[in-house]
Every structure is written in C-alpha cells, then in structure tokens.
Chain A
Amino acid sequence: MIWLENIERVFKVGDERVHALRDVTLNVAAGEYLSIMGPSGSGKSTLLNILGLLDRPDRGRYHLEGRDTTRLNDRQQAEVRRHRIGFIFQFFHLVPRLTAAENVELPLILAGVNPSDRKARVAVALERLGLADRARHRPDQLSGGQRQRVAIARATIMRPALVLADEPTGNLDRASGKEVIQTIELLNAEGMTVVMVTHDPEIGRRTHRQVRMMDGRIEFDSGSDNGSDSGAAP
C-alpha cells in the first residue's frame, strides 16, 4: 500500500536548513490502522503531507499502491489525491459559504460526476454518519463534532483507499472526539487504510500500530517487523 524509502525533506528557514524528515523508511499494508505520534516539530505533519502528495520529498522514493508517486506530474498527483486519498484536518476546513451537503459534494464536483449521481451519493454518505437532518446547515450552524463528521463524509465520498487524519480530535471536546474516532475506526473496518497523526496517547493506544517520531526520524514503530513483510513493495 505505502512504501516509503529513505525520505528526506529539508525546509529553508532564513539561512538555516531545517531537516523535517531524515531518512524515513516506512511500509504500511492495505487496511492498516496506524497512528503517528511525537512532539511538535518532530516531522509527523510533514510526513503526512508527503503521504498525501501535498508535499514532495527532497530525496527518497514513495510508492503508493505500487505507483512511484515522485515521478507523477502535478495533474497526475491531483488525480491520485482525488480518487485514492481522503484528508481529515484538525480545523475541519469546511467552506463556510457552502452547506454540509455542498461541502461533501465538492470532491464529486471536482471529479466531474453527474449531478443526479452526486445527490444520491451525498445523501447516503450523510445518512451513514448520522447527519441527514443537518444536510442544509452551514458549518457555523453545526457543532464541532458535526463539522468533523461532515469533513469525514467529504474525505470518504470518493471511497479512497487511504485516509489521512491530522489530529482529527485536536479541536474537539472528549465526547465528540470519541465519536469521531469511532467513525474513523468504522472506515478502517470497511477496509480503508487509516494513517492518523495525534497528540493524544489514549487515541494512539487504540490504533493497531503506533509510530513515534522524534527530530524527523522514526524512533519507534510497533509494527515494523510485520509491516515490512506485508508492505506492498514494488
């Protein structure tokens, strides 16, 4: 599924060169439920962005579902993001002027799906997440938990193979955070690979595999041995 080899990412901050990722190698099998933890600045968000094709590594190779993503051009990368990857953000990133249903519809619009198909798929997705009665509400009329569930519906409407979550509960109270985690676990149970960055050790413990990062390196990987032989190496 995910096959990362010797990934390096360097940022230039002023005159300084900051190594966000140093020599990161990671294999994730299809259907895994994985958390990445670590202090701020340890490179976990950068890693997630590279996994999501929002950022390009300076060195190393990244194969997603057997495809060498570093060789894809921008348009092809956008296509992979559109069809194979779903993003869940800490701050939800819902478009404020659009209703819940319209926010969920966005990926379908970008993919050029027919309006009649879109309506049906959006209705099903909202129904599944218990948001059917909230479809016509705007984000500012929704609670934090509801907003994150709308964002999850949007991330999964294209049935992606890989769901990337960046501190999905970081901005929620405990109760709604728990709801959101349960929803994400449901997606994993349906077969989606979930990679989640989190600060919360309790949530980290719930995942099947934990990766701890420090100073741009993977310091600990609970599933490194089984990960390497089930990894989809090309």
Chain B
Amino acid sequence: MKTWDSIRFCTGSLSGYPLRTSLMLLAMAIGVAAVVMLTSLGEGARLYVTQQFSSLGSHLLIVLPGRSETVGGPPPLIGETPRDLTLEDALALQRSSAVDRIAPIMVGSAPVAHGNLTRETVVLGSTAELLPVRNLVVAQGRFLPEGDIDRAEAFCVLGHKLKAELFGNDSPLGGFVRIGQRRFRVIGVLAKKGQSLGVDISDVAIIPVASAQALFNRSSLFRILVQATGRDAIPRAKKAVLEIIRERHDGEDDVTVITQDALLSTFDRIFKALTLAVGGIAAISLAVAGILIMNVMLIAVSQRTAEIGLLKALGATGAQIERLFISEAAMLSSIGALFGLLLAMLGQVLLARLFPDFPVTVPPWATFAAVGVAIGTGLIFGVMPARRAARLDPVAALSRR
C-alpha cells in the first residue's frame, strides 16, 4: 500500500464521520492551545518582571545599612545596632576598580512649596551620578551638577508630576521652591518614567546629598547605589563593597548588599518554574485529549468491524491495518495541533489588544513541546485501538451485518 493511498484512505474515513472527527479535533486543539497560551502567559509575566528590574539601571548593587540575614548561632544577648552608612563610606567605595559609579541616597519627607502651593513629597538627596545609575532622563534643564559632594548647594530637580502640581504649565527653570525652611532653585525636571518598582519617580524632589543632610539634620544614608563596571564585575564589586565597609566599620559586617542580578535571576527562576508548572497542568489536558482520541478510536474500530474484516479478506495484512489506524490517529492529532496553534495565536492577538503593556510571547520550546506532546499522545493512544483492529478475527467481523 502506497503512502499517498494510506493518506487518502485515512482522510476518507475521517471525513466519513464528521461529528466524531470534529469533536476529536476540538479536544486536541483546546489541549494544544491551552499549553501554548498558559506558557506564553507565564513567559509574559517573567518578561514583565525582568523589564521592570532592568528599568532600575544596569549592573546595580544596592548597599543597605544593617544585616538582614541570620547566619545561625545563638541570638546576641545585647541587641546589635548597625552602624550608619555615611557619605564617607560611599566615597570610600569608589576605591574599588570594579566600581564604576556610586550614588548615595538619602530619603526624607518634607513640604515642597511654590507660591501658595505646598506638597508633602519625598525628597531624595543624591549626587549627579544618580542620573546614569538609575537610568533617569531629564526632560527640561539639567540634573544636579557634578562637584564637591560635601557642598550643600541649593539646587533641586523636580519629578514631572510634582512640577505639574506646583508650576502647572509654566516653566519652572530658574524658579524657586521652598523645601522645609530652605529655598532651592529649580534647575531641571525629570522625564515621565512612570512607576519603577513601586517607587513613583515622578513625585519627588531631588537635591544634593549634602543639602539633604542639612535639611533633615542627619548624616546617615538611606542606601548607596553602586554601579559595577560590567556584568562580570558584579561579584567582584560586591566583595569589594563588603570588604571596604567592614574595614571602615571596625571589622563588622553590618551592611547588606543586594545585587540586581541576584534579584533578577531569583525572579527569573520563580517565573520559569511557574511557567513549567502551568504548562504541565495544560499538558494534562492534552493527555485527556489523547485518552479521548483512544476512546473514540476504539469506538471507531468496533463501528468499522465489518470494514476491517473486509480489508483482511481482500488481503490486507494485520500490519497494514494497524498502520492505517495509527495514521488516522496521527492525522487527527496533528491537524488538531495545528488548529490549536491557530487558536493560541488568536488568543495572543486578543490578549495583546486587551493588555498592551503586558508582553505576551510564546517561547519556541512551548510550541514544539505542545505539538510534540499532541502528536505523541495521539500516537500512543492510537496504538491500542489499532492493535485491536489488526487482531480482529475476520470471520467474526464479516459474519455481522
């Protein structure tokens, strides 16, 4: 029997029972579409989080005062008070060759006023380096000037929302705002960047770190952002930061260094696992579709007993009949898989329309896996009915009408 003839014979028998065929195609299509859609949702979530993190800046290390990890051993009898992070600590970090830039950050809250308008906002004290480190973009004017880190100059840069609230549509450049009891000259406005990891960067006022120390009357930093010279330098930079701080803090490890990559890879791992889990759940629906194919093929075998008996009488071997039924199952599952992929593409277009911010992409492995599993289940569950058809006793098969 020629391959082309087998294909024609199978399409003939598939189109001969349209209801059964379309139900099986539907089951297979839903299974495949579920696998592809669910994995693409998981992958989308992963990409979304990754994007959020990379908008934070690249090759970033965050130095926090205090130690959040417990290393074991008995709890200290006397409560450990962490030393503050100071501006000197921040400057000392620049000694390491692995460190490219540092941006010390002070955070406080203060009323910011212009004319009669006053807003209670977050005030960030930092340096010129904050701009490249945090990937910020200036919309008007300029950012904090480079210069002596200890000089408390009365400049400030406003977030675009704060600017809109205080100045409306007027240009704020050269104007003055009052932060706390001090007057600051507005030298720039940040571009609209939106939310970045929960911190609304549009609703802040940024002033030189020395001015912030004076304003809040405190010398401790909220944290230090450290940018490593490259991706490879991140572990080296982390080690250097810990060493420098330990040296400066009398041998105590009283800071925590979070690397952005570590955070990222943690989330990456979590979301990959999630995607796999969800994909696995969807694969179960594929297996169910496979079992459905087996059931319906078994019914088909008993429906077509006479036909099978006849084929045997006409000289078909058991192997030929087995091949025919397996090809039928294979065709059903591959056509079903094709429909499933179309369905999934449709779903993605719909999703992209509804949630334009959410990146929906199908990882290529998911497509291959879905189609592979579909055809695999079709074949595996097609074997049993095909065997039964091949072993059918032609005498018994033909004696029935």
Which of A85, A95, A110 is in CB contact (< 8 Å) with B1? A110
Size bracket of the B interface: 20 to 34
A172 lies within 8 A of chain B by Cβ? no
Which of A81, A91, A96, A97 is in CB contact (< 8 Å) with B313? A81
Determine whether the beta carbon of B314 is less than 8 Å from that of A75. Answer: no
Q: Which A-chain residue is minimally distant from B310 (CB atoms)?
A: A93
Total number of residue pairs linking A and B with CB closer than 8 Å? 71
Q: Mark A42-81, 1 if CB is under 8 A from B, else 0.
A: 0001000100101100000000000000000011001111
Determine whether the beta carbon of A97 is less than 8 Å from that of B16. Answer: yes
Which of A49, A111, A112 is in CB contact (< 8 Å) with B395? A49
Main secondary structure of the interface of B (DSSP, over half): helix
Contact (A87, B313) CB under 8 Å given A93-B398, A112-B2: yes
Size bracket of the A interface: 20 to 34
Q: Mark A106-146, 1 if CB is under 8 A from B, else 0.
A: 11011110010000000000000000000000000000000
Which of B5, B307, B314, B318 is in CB contact (< 8 Å) with A154? B314
Main secondary structure of the interface of A (DSSP, over half): helix
Contact (A52, B315) CB under 8 Å given A97-B12, A110-B1: no
Determine whether the beta carbon of B315 is less than 8 Å from that of A78. Answer: yes
Instruction: Chain A residues near B317: list those with CB within 8 A.
Output: 74-75, 78-79
Determine whether the beta carbon of B12 is less than 8 Å from that of A54. Answer: no
A209 lies within 8 A of chain B by Cβ? no
B9 lies within 8 A of chain A by Cβ? yes
Q: Which of A87-104 contact B (CB under 8 A)?
A: 87, 89, 91, 93, 95-98
Contact (A111, B5) CB under 8 Å given A49-B395, A54-B395, A93-B306: no
B342 lies within 8 A of chain A by Cβ? no
Determine whether the beta carbon of B311 is less than 8 Å from that of A110. Answer: yes
Determine whether the beta carbon of A110 is less than 8 Å from that of B394. Answer: no
Contact (A89, B315) CB under 8 Å given A98-B12, A109-B1, A110-B320: no
A95–B13 Cα distance when bound, in Å, is 10
B353 lies within 8 A of chain A by Cβ? no
Q: Which of A1-56 contact B (CB under 8 A)?
A: 45, 49, 52, 54-55
A212 lies within 8 A of chain B by Cβ? no
Instruction: Chain B residues near A93: list those with CB within 8 A.
Output: 306, 309-310, 313, 398
Q: Which of B218-276 contact A (CB under 8 A)?
A: none
Q: Which A-chain residue is minimally distant from B394 (CB atoms)?
A: A54
Which of A54, A75, A85, A109 is in CB contact (< 8 Å) with B9? A109
B277 lies within 8 A of chain A by Cβ? no
Instruction: Chain B residues near A158: list those with CB within 8 A.
Output: 315
Determine whether the beta carbon of A55 is less than 8 Å from that of B395. Answer: yes
Give min CB distance, B392 to chain A, whole Å: 11
Q: Which of B4-50 contact A (CB under 8 A)?
A: 5, 9, 12-13, 15-16
Give min CB distance, B307 to chain A, whole Å: 6
Determine whether the beta carbon of B314 is less than 8 Å from that of A112. Answer: no
Determine whether the beta carbon of B315 is less than 8 Å from that of A81. Answer: yes
A106–B263 Cα distance when bound, in Å, is 66
* Known contacts A109-B5, A110-B315; 19 further A-B pairs (Cβ under 8 A): A55-B395, A74-B317, A74-B318, A78-B312, A78-B316, A78-B317, A80-B315, A81-B313, A93-B306, A93-B398, A95-B307, A95-B310, A97-B13, A98-B12, A106-B311, A107-B315, A109-B9, A110-B320, A115-B5
- Which residues on A are within 8 Å of B, measured CB to CB? 45, 49, 52, 54-55, 74-75, 78-83, 85, 87, 89, 91, 93, 95-98, 106-107, 109-112, 115, 154, 158
* Between-chain CB contacts (< 8 Å), 9 pairs: A52-B313, A54-B395, A78-B318, A83-B315, A96-B16, A110-B315, A111-B315, A112-B2, A158-B315
